[in-house]
């Protein structure tokens, strides 16, 4: 096992897949000569050359469309957005082309493409650079949506995403690129669509993903100090969702909290709660609660940003509430 940062796990996954399959290439803003805005592509230009590591203009609609066309022609592009906030410019390409071409051509064309980059809030970036985009993409049939929180998951799931025949939206976190984790030195893949129990427990289930994972784990630690044993489930894949893993845990603990980075209204958290309510209602001993952003645009000022973000203390309060230990 090697102890590496998430950014290096992403780089290694891309490098291994580019070495394995000459159809794989990387394109995006500053991925080449600058080694990536967050150094996730460090050394790839030197190793693979300008035909396979392409610096693009700041024109997300254009290079997303080029990537989709390349995928339709048999290549396997990895398209990096410097931030997923910029992917909003490419919505038409992703939602109406990448997600629908396989359906609209009756399977004559597939679109094996990965759109990846940092998602959700970082630190003092303001409202237009702090949005969580998984609700937009998970809403659309035809897209796979993945959110990673560890180096192990980042590498194993990115390799699986690159090999998949469908378009994949791969969500990372600017704040977590430097977080280290153990990664096997031999090749491995993580299957898409499988959640992971990051912490076993018996009193309450905390469902989370992406940037929410370390917050949820800290909430569980605080709860443990009060004698509450929380199980933390990292969904990892948001579409398709591993509903069975969630239901199995909730049927064991009889209580659930959904903790995530994102707004409360109409998001992935709502879908998690709907699945629990529809399929495990009789197993619940308390209402399912959410811990997420406040329902406002993200402030720039640090003190105000801290009031909006989900925290371990807010997670603990929700755990107390569903276990009736206010």
Write the CB contacts of 234 (distance below 8 Å, at least 6 apart in sequence).
Answer: 149, 153, 195, 196, 197, 198, 208, 209, 213
Side by side, the strands of the sheet bearing 204-208 are 196-199, 230-234, 204-208, 256-259, 289-291
Interatomic CA distance for residues 176 and 10, integer angstroms: 12
Do residues 52 and 45 touch, judged by C-beta distance below 8 A? no
Supply the residues annotated as catalytic.
60, 129
Is beta strand 289-291 parallel, antiparallel or unpaired with respect to 237-239? unpaired
Distance set, CA 67 to CA 46, 88, 127, 155, 215 (Å)? 21, 16, 28, 22, 35
CB half-sphere exposure, 103, CA atoms < 13 A? 11
Do residues 206 and 218 touch, judged by C-beta distance below 8 A? no
DSSP-derived secondary structure letter, 53: E
Do residues 321 and 289 touch, judged by C-beta distance below 8 A? yes
| Structure-token pair, residue 49 | 């050359």
Distance set, CA 215 to CA 109, 174, 234, 312 (Å)? 41, 15, 11, 5
DSSP-derived secondary structure letter, 297: P
Interatomic CA distance for residues 61 and 65, integer angstroms: 6
Label residues 278-295 b or e (16+ Cβ within 10 Å = b).
eebeeebeeebbbbbbee
Name the β-bridge partners of 27. Answer: 54, 79
């Amino acid at each position: 096992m090697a102890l590496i940062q998430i950014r290096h796990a992403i780089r290694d996954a891309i490098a291994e897949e580019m070495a394995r399959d000459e159809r794989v290439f990387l394109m995006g803003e500053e991925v080449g000569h600058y080694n990536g805005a967050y150094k996730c592509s460090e050394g790839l230009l030197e190793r693979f050359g300008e035909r396979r590591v392409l610096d693009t203009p700041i024109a997300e609609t254009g290079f997303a469309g080029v990537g989709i066309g390349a995928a339709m022609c048999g290549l396997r592009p990895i398209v990096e957005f410097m931030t997923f906030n910029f992917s909003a410019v490419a919505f038409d390409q992703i939602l109406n082309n990448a997600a629908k071409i396989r359906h609209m051509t009756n399977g004559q064309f597939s679109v094996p493409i990965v759109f990846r980059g940092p998602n959700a809030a970082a630190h003092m970036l303001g409202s237009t650079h702090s949005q969580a985009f998984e609700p937009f993409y998970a809403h659309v049939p035809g897209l796979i949506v993945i959110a990673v929180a560890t180096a192990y998951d980042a590498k194993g799931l990115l390799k699986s995403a690159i090999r998949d025949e469908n378009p994949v939206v791969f969500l990372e976190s600017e704040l977590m690129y430097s977080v280290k984790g153990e990664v096997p030195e031999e090749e491995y893949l993580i299957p898409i669509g499988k959640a992971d129990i990051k912490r076993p427990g018996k009193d309450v289930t905390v469902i989370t993903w992406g940037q929410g994972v370390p917050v949820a784990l800290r909430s569980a630690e605080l709860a443990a100090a009060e004698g509450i044993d929380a199980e933390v489930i990292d969904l990892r894949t948001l579409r398709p969702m591993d509903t069975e893993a969630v239901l199995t845990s909730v049927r064991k603990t009889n209580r659930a909290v959904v903790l995530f980075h994102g707004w409360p209204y109409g998001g992935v958290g709502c879908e998690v709660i709907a699945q629990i309510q529809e399929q495990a209602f009789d197993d619940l001993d308390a209402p399912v609660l959410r811990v997420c952003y406040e329902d406002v645009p993200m402030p720039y000022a640090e003190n105000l940003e801290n009031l909006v973000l989900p925290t371990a203390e807010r997670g603990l309060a929700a755990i107390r509430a569903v276990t009736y230990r206010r």
